[in-house]
């Protein structure tokens, strides 16, 4: 009778350990998939932005004959963003550069009152601003999800399972431009 109790306890402990490992492994898989999904959500918004830019450029071209360099910088940055492949860090760097060129385009457009009043320009600008907001929210969600995965990959005891099954830390979608980190100056 005692041997049955000892065997029962042994199998119960073995079952508990197996359940823990299975649960932890499934949690790591879930987090990895959430990171990939979060990145694809960013990618969807980036594609939307890439599709809007040519229309914006065409609208702006007629008004901004003297601002050829700004237009060419936006076109070049968009082309690099569309053609980039590879890891999150490379894509994030190129997309940050595209964001900077778009900001400079909008800043230059302030010099052209007719352009600022053009309904097509205003509509495209509003679409891009809305898309930029969606990209910002998607980046935040991505970084939150990466944080959860990275914590799980590094913290004991799930780090043992992560190492056994080759779960790696992911990189955050970070700002590369030091100017973007500065606090804006407000002047009245």
Alpha carbon distances (Å) from 35 to 32, 46, 157: 5, 16, 21
Predicted pLDDT at 185: 46
Instruction: Judge whether 135 and 52 are in contact, CB under 8 Å.
Output: no
Cβ neighbours for 3, distance < 8 A, ≥ 6 positions apart:
none
Prediction pTM value: 0.68
Q: What mean pLDDT value characterizes the chain?
A: 83
Instruction: Judge whether 121 and 59 are in contact, CB under 8 Å.
Output: yes
Cβ neighbours for 182, distance < 8 A, ≥ 6 positions apart:
none
CA–CA gap between residue 171 and residue 106 (Å, rounded): 30
More confident residue, 38 or 113: 38
Instruction: Judge whether 73 and 104 are in contact, CB under 8 Å.
Output: yes
Q: Is the peptide bond before 157 cis (omega within 30 degrees of 0)?
A: yes
In CATH, which superfamily holds the domain spanning 32-175? LemA-like domain (1.20.1440.20)
Q: What is the pLDDT of residues 145-182, one digit of tens each?
A: 999 999 999 999 899 999 999 999 998 887 665 554 45
Distance of CA 156 to the CA centre of its chain: 28
Cβ neighbours for 166, distance < 8 A, ≥ 6 positions apart:
none
| DSSP type of residue 82 | H
More confident residue, 79 or 186: 79
């Amino acid at each position: 009778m005692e041997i049955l109790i000892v065997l029962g306890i042994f199998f119960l402990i073995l079952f508990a350990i197996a359940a823990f490992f299975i649960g932890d492994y499934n949690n790591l898989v879930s987090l990895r998939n959430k990171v990939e999904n979060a990145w694809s959500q960013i990618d969807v918004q980036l594609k939307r932005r890439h599709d809007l830019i040519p229309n914006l450029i065409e609208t702006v071209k007629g008004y901004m004959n003297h601002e050829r360099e700004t237009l060419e910088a936006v076109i070049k940055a968009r082309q690099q963003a569309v053609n980039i492949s590879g890891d999150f860090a490379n894509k994030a760097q190129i997309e940050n550069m595209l964001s900077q060129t778009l900001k400079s385009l909008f800043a230059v457009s302030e010099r052209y009152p007719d352009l600022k009043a053009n309904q097509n320009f205003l509509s495209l600008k509003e679409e891009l601003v809305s898309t930029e907001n969606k990209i910002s929210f998607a980046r935040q969600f991505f970084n939150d999800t990466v944080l959860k995965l990275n914590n799980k990959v590094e913290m004991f005891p799930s780090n043992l399972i992560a190492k056994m099954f080759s779960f790696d830390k992911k990189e955050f979608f970070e700002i590369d431009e030091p100017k973007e980190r500065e606090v804006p100056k407000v002047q009245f």
